Amino acid sequence: MKLYSTRNQDLDAGLHEALLGSMPPDGGLYMPSAIPSLGKEKMEWMRGKSFPENASTVLGALLGDAVDPGSLKTMVAEAFDFPVSLVELEAHQHVLELFHGPSLAFKDFGARFMSRLMQNYRRDDPGEIRDLVATSGDTGGAVAQGFSDLPGIQVTILFPSGKVSPLQRRQMTTASANIRVLEVDGNFDDCQLLARQAFGDQLLNRRIRLCSANSINIARLIAQTCYYFQAWASMEDPSRELYISVPSGNFGNLTAGLIARRMGLPVRRFIASTNINDVVPAYLSSGHYETRESLQTISSAMDVGAPSNFERMMDLFRGDLKQIREVVEGYRFTDDQTRGAIRDLYTRYGYIACPHTAVAWLGLRQYISGYRPGNFNGIFLGTAHPAKFPEVYDNDIRDRITLPSRVNGTLEKPEKFHRIAADYARLRHILMEHSS
């Protein structure tokens, strides 16, 4: 597998370099030099198969000879040892539940596969890896769980003070000794900027092997392409036109879906569903892209004012706004609309959705009502378990939410984290500690 920088297609790298280096030296993002098509025969074979079987097929095509098939099959079996559930709410409307992993969020797919991929490469390159990740909530917990106790890998997680739920915070701050957690006095964009400064610091990167577990690392997106194919393969009638609504913050999840589409996934349209942090829907509407300070909402994992994966989206379409509009529709929703959607989903279907999932449902509904497609399948992504956000629900709904047994003890464990200012010099000092 070969990759290039979004800012210079002549600057190429192999998967090993892209995985452990995370970002190209020119500050761009890695993208696959070639995105293979699975073809009709493989697509039909996937119908009725298990998720690990289908994931091995998708990843085998994407990664090529970068990982031998036996090792890949083992990594997939270890990383994806939890279900992917497609739940029908009514005809033409399905929720793809991606929160059945250990951290109760879709980020488990990317984090767990990335950790296994790093371990695979460490067999031949055993130096210590230092992972750095900025999180708006779910990524931190998934990385903390996915990288817990892995030898030779130290993880530093940055999260914005007061802007993650108690369970999200504890999933990070109660993890194993190789996980260091920093509460940043700022918002997610401040955390993301600190991380980008670290990856762009050439002196720091000569001293330590610094790697990202954010969606700026292409390994995250590669893993996430798999569940889009699983959703299609689970459909009763996959011949219908397919529309998928993706709750979007940093836009890694949507970009993974766009890569899956390039591989042959028959998606007619993606709906980019955001909260009031709507820089991408605003771009799709006006043609003008402008980042801004993120605003706090009840769908906190989507509170991103400068989505890093927008650069990858632009690269996929070579910056052609007309082409992007033919594939991606964008909508934004307020907290009041999100609360209303949570109530509607519960009243209509008895379904309890997290606020991000509710935003995705709103996006699918708005698209359907505006374009009125005929014979179609509609999917919205369920990205997190509602137990992670108890404060957003009315009492009657909250009382119906059960915390899965696999995280029951998390709220009782002692926490371990440090608070820092949004100051790169301070972060750099922490990252340099104990370096040789």
Residue 288 lies in a domain: yes
110, 223 Cβ separation under 8 angstroms: yes
- Look at the chain and report how many structural domains it folds into: 1
In this prediction, residue 413 carries a pLDDT of 86
Residue 273 forms beta bridges with which residues?
Answer: 247, 331
Q: Which domain holds residue 253?
A: 69-104+219-398
Residue 258 lies in a domain: yes
Backbone φ and ψ of 27, nearest 5°:
85, 0
Residue 13 lies in a domain: no
In this prediction, residue 151 carries a pLDDT of 87
Residue 327 lies in a domain: yes
pLDDT, mean of each 10-residue run, the chain (436 residues): 94 91 89 95 94 97 94 96 95 95 94 92 79 88 90 93 89 91 94 91 89 89 97 92 96 97 97 98 97 92 92 96 97 98 98 98 96 89 94 96 84 90 96 70
Residue 433 lies in a domain: no
Single-letter amino acid code for the residue at 303: D
Local structure of residue 415 (DSSP, 8 states) = P
* CATH number of the domain encompassing residue 224: 3.40.50.1100
In this prediction, residue 436 carries a pLDDT of 46
Distance CA 366, CA 372 (A): 10
Distance CA 135, CA 188 (A): 7
319, 283 Cβ separation under 8 angstroms: no
Residue 423 lies in a domain: no
Local structure of residue 217 (DSSP, 8 states) = S
157, 143 Cβ separation under 8 angstroms: yes
Residue 272 lies in a domain: yes
Instruction: Kindly report the pTM of this predicted structure.
Output: 0.92
Distance CA 401, CA 280 (A): 32
Residue 256 lies in a domain: yes
Q: CA quadruple 38, 42, 47, 49: dihedral positive or negative?
A: negative
204, 4 Cβ separation under 8 angstroms: no
In this prediction, residue 433 carries a pLDDT of 81
What six digits make up the tokens of 8? 């210079």
